């Protein structure tokens, strides 16, 4: 936990959860009837730490050019969450250049 107490867990209404990490980025993991998933997968997104919007996920998965990636396995979701947790705090600023 950092000095700003940014780390937290939240359940979402649609059937999933958000995890905000010490760097301020939030990983969204969703599963349910209105998501890009099935009974064995989930969809993910990353919410910016500086602006309230989703960030492009092409740095996480090179062949994706979107802000949401669907049909990820549990291991892929874990990889995604680790990627979000390890983003540098200035990631969004550098991407906006």
Q: Give the tens place of pLDDT for each residue, 48-97.
A: 988 788 999 999 998 888 999 999 999 999 999 999 999 999 998 877 64
**Distance between CA atoms of residues 3 and 61, nearest Å:** 31
As a whole number, mean pLDDT of residues 28-39 equals 94
The pTM of the full predicted model, rounded to 2 decimals, is: 0.87
Alpha-helix residue ranges (DSSP H) falling in the chain:
74-85, 91-95
67 vs 47: CA distance, rounded Å? 9
Domain boundaries, the chain: 8-89
**Predicted local distance difference test score (pLDDT) of residue 96:** 61
């Amino acid at each position: 936990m950092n000095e700003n107490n940014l780390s937290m867990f939240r359940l979402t209404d649609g059937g999933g959860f958000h995890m905000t990490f010490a760097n301020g980025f939030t990983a969204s993991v969703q599963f349910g009837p209105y998501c890009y998933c099935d009974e064995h997968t989930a969809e993910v997104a990353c919410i910016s730490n500086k602006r309230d919007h989703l960030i492009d996920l092409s740095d996480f998965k090179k062949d994706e050019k979107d802000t949401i990636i669907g049909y990820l396995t549990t291991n892929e979701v874990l990889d995604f969450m680790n990627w979000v947790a390890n983003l540098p705090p200035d990631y969004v600023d550098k991407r906006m250049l």
